[in-house]
């Protein structure tokens, strides 16, 4: 076990609980592992997978994280694949063939791909050594981020055989959610391994204040090292980053409304320590492996304890003294309760949004099943004159009912394939010097472009051929119109996967009892985070630990409540 860890990861010893989890999986037991953020969950399944024949199937809802893990494994000389919404049918076909016949060790799959006929037809031909369910709380309707596609995992278990051990991993699960995860994944025997949620080096501080910008400035000035400030709105990210910069703090904004290259530059600069503070919406953080974050501040109140605990836990992963600061005031509490009403629009409105989405995508009744298409919320809301946020919550509610899946915003590069013979291409090149030069650039930069779709980088082509990026795009479109190439432009937006054909109103099932049940659970989680900030008696650390089922803990002696005492 340690030999594998040393050989591929370069570590001599395991972190707490990792060895116990790995031993449980190697003994063939279904295992639910609850480890706090930064506890090294990926090692818990990657090490045993490398010690067994076959391929490890990993279900993960986060496309960016999947890509990151595949790249990390590749760098270690371990062959890995990823399948998610937005890649072509041909690419999925090749990846599944490689998973069956190739010498790959890991296949990452986003949950919405699990119920496709193509995946089901191949998965039972794979020699799967472990089935891994990342972010396992997503399978529980009691969890804070329920995703119906996860329920498909039970059927995948039946296809690959119940003897294949399941590794379910999460950082945030209450005792009720943990029991539900094991039930939904059909554990042969309940088996929970739980690390301590206690973070002795992390001081939780809650401050009630009106001048939040001033507080953030004092924290950034008073605590050395890098930090993250979470905000709820994109405008807040930009305004606060500008305010900090104006006061001599090296800071950058980060949110989903920025271009991919701008986000990437900001993230890399922060990871390298060139930027001290990143001010971000919750679009930032998943899979960010930076150990020396000294403080995480919440400028706006988070809406669940689970979300707050996960984000706060990104501070101090190196074990050094760090701070998690949450700022709030009465307006925040009022806003959260208002958002609860917005996030559960009336059922009749939700049903109307269902029909409007299919109309927007161009599907009539009994059409659309299995489609995966780009979905731009702003255009959709504009077409039907809707309030974008309310429409978004209606779309997310329909997702929890299993009718479709709205993916996170993702970047899929442009792809090109030549569809003419080399002789025909030569004749086309003779007809235009400009086209001849451009085609030569493509052929020099990309091999295999005659036999299959090849991902291309428009900006790299522009640098290599000394073109403006607009000229590259225009040339690609021109060649496509001439039927010289097939060209799939870059996708840089969310995708919607339709699990069923469009139903007429009388066949659409969105029961009122389910709606009220979800609303009640959502309200309960909201009231818990409000109670957390308002209470002044119980140690912050003990409150959080108790929420996650860890009853016996001592006062941390460093949170705001302990210090006040």
Query: Which residue shows structure tokens 């990026």?
Result: 469
User: In whole angstroms, what is the distance from residue 155 CA to residue 298 CA?
Assistant: 40
Give CATH for domain 337-410+493-520: 1.10.10
CA distance 422 to 445: 17
Q: Work out the burial of residue 153: count CB atoms within 10 Å of its CB; fewer than 13 is exposed, 13-18 middle, 19 or more buried.
A: buried
Burial class (CB in 10 A: 0-12, 13-18, 19+), 428: middle
Fold agreement (2-194, 199-328):
yes
Output the CA angle 157-162-168, nearest 5 degrees. Answer: 60
Q: Range with the lowest mean pLDDT among 371-385, 488-502, 514-528?
A: 488-502
Mean pLDDT for 415-436 is: 85
> Considering only CA atoms, which of 195, 183, 250 is closest in space to residue 18?
195
For residue 405, what are the β-bridge partners? 497
Q: What is the average pLDDT value for the chain, to the nearest integer? A: 90
**Contacting residues for 459 by C-beta, under 8 A, at least 6 apart:** 261, 469
pLDDT digits (tens, 9 = 90+) for 43-100: 999 999 999 999 999 999 887 788 889 999 999 999 999 998 777 788 889 999 999 9
| Position 285 pLDDT exceeds 80 | no
CATH number corresponding to 2-194: 3.40.50.300
Q: Which residues of 94-125 are buried (b: 16+ CB within 10 A; e: fewer)?
A: bbbeebbeeebbbbbbbbbbbbbeebeebbee
Q: What is the pLDDT of residue 68?
A: 84
Please determine, for residue 411, whether its predicted confidence score (pLDDT) is greater than 70.
no
The reported pTM is: 0.79
**Per-residue b or e along 450-488, where b marks 16 or more CB atoms closer than 10 Å to that residue's CB:** eeebbebebeebbeebebeeeebbebbebbbeeebbebb
Terminal C-alpha separation, the chain? 46
> What is the structure's pLDDT at 288?
65
Question: 475: which 2 tokens?
Answer: 């040339």
d(CA 425, CA 394): 50
Residue in the block written with tokens 């010097």: 433
Reported in sequence order, the residue ranges of 73-113 that DSSP labels E, i.e. its strands, are 80-83, 106-109
Q: What percent of the chain has pLDDT over 90?
A: 61
> What's the alpha-carbon Rg for the chain, to the nearest Å?
25
Cα separation, 523 vs 535, whole angstroms: 18
| Contact (Cβ atoms closer than 8 angstroms) between residue 373 and residue 76 | no
pLDDT tens for 513-560 read 999 999 999 999 999 999 999 999 999 999 999 999 888 899 999 999
- The string over 523-562, giving b where at least 16 C-beta atoms fall within 10 Å of a residue's C-beta and e elsewhere, is eebbeebbebbeeeebbbbbbbbebbebeebeebebbbbb
Q: Which fold has domain 199-328?
A: Rossmann fold (3.40.50)
Token pair of 521 as six digits: 């659970």
Provide the residue ranges of all domains of the chain, joining segments of one domain with +: 2-194, 199-328, 337-410+493-520, 414-489
CA separation for the pair 503, 495 (Å, rounded) = 20
């Amino acid at each position: 076990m340690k030999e594998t860890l040393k050989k591929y990861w370069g570590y001599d010893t395991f972190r707490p609980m990792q060895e116990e989890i790995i031993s449980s999986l190697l003994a063939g037991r279904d295992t639910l592992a609850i480890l706090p953020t930064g506890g090294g969950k990926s090692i818990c399944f990657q090490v045993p997978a490398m010690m067994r024949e076959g391929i490890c199937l990993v279900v993960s809802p986060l496309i960016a994280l999947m890509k990151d893990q595949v790249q990390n494994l590749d760098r270690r000389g371990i062959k890995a694949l990823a399948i998610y919404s937005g890649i072509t049918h041909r690419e999925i076909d090749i990846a599944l063939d490689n998973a069956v016949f190739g010498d790959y060790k890991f296949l990452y799959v986003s949950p919405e791909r699990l119920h496709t006929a193509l995946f089901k037809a191949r998965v039972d031909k794979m020699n799967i050594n472990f089935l891994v369910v990342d972010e396992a709380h997503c399978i529980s309707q009691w969890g804070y981020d329920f995703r119906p596609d996860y329920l498909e995992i039970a059927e995948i278990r039946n296809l690959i055989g119940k003897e294949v051990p399941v590794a379910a991993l999460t950082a945030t699960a209450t005792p009720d959610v943990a029991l539900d995860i094991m039930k939904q994944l059909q554990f042969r025997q309940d088996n929970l391994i739980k690390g301590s949620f206690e973070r002795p080096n992390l001081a939780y501080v809650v401050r009630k204040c009106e001048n939040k910008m001033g507080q953030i400035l004092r924290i950034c000035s008073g605590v050395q090292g890098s930090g993250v400030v979470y905000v709820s709105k994109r405008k807040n990210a930009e305004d606060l980053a500008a305010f900090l910069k104006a006061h001599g703090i090296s800071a950058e904004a980060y949110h989903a409304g920025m271009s991919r290259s701008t986000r990437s530059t900001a993230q890399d600069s922060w990871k390298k320590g060139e930027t001290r503070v990143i001010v971000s919406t919750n679009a930032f953080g998943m899979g960010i492996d930076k150990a020396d974050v000294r403080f995480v501040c919440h400028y706006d109140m988070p809406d669940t304890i689970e979300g707050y605990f996960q984000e706060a836990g990104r501070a101090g992963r190196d074990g050094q003294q760090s701070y998690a600061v949450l700022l709030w005031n009465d307006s925040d509490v009022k806003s959260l309760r208002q958002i609860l009403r917005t996030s559960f629009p009336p059922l009749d409105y939700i049903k109307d949004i269902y029909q409007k989405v299919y109309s927007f995508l161009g599907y009539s009744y009994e059409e659309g099943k299995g489609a995966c298409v780009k979905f731009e919320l702003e255009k959709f809301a504009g077409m039907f004159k809707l309030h974008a946020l309310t429409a978004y919550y209606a779309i997310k509610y329909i997702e929890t009912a299993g009718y479709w899946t709205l993916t996170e915003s993702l970047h899929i590069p442009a792809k090109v394939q030549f569809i003419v013979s080399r002789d025909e291409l030569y004749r086309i090149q003779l007809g235009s010097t400009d086209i001849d030069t451009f085609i030569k650039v493509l052929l020099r930069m990309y091999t295999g472009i005659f036999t299959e779709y090849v991902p291309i980088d428009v900006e790299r082509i522009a640098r290599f051929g000394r073109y403006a990026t607009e000229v590259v795009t225009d040339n690609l479109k021109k060649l496509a119109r001439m039927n010289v190439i097939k060209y799939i432009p870059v996708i840089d937006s969310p995708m919607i996967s339709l699990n069923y054909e469009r139903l007429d109103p009388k066949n659409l099932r969105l029961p009122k009892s389910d709606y009220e049940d979800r609303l009640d659970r959502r309200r309960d989680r909201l009231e818990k985070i409000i109670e957390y900030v308002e209470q002044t008696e119980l140690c912050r650390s003990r409150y959080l630990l108790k929420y996650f089922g860890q009853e016996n803990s001592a006062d941390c002696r460093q949170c705001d409540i302990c210090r006040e005492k």
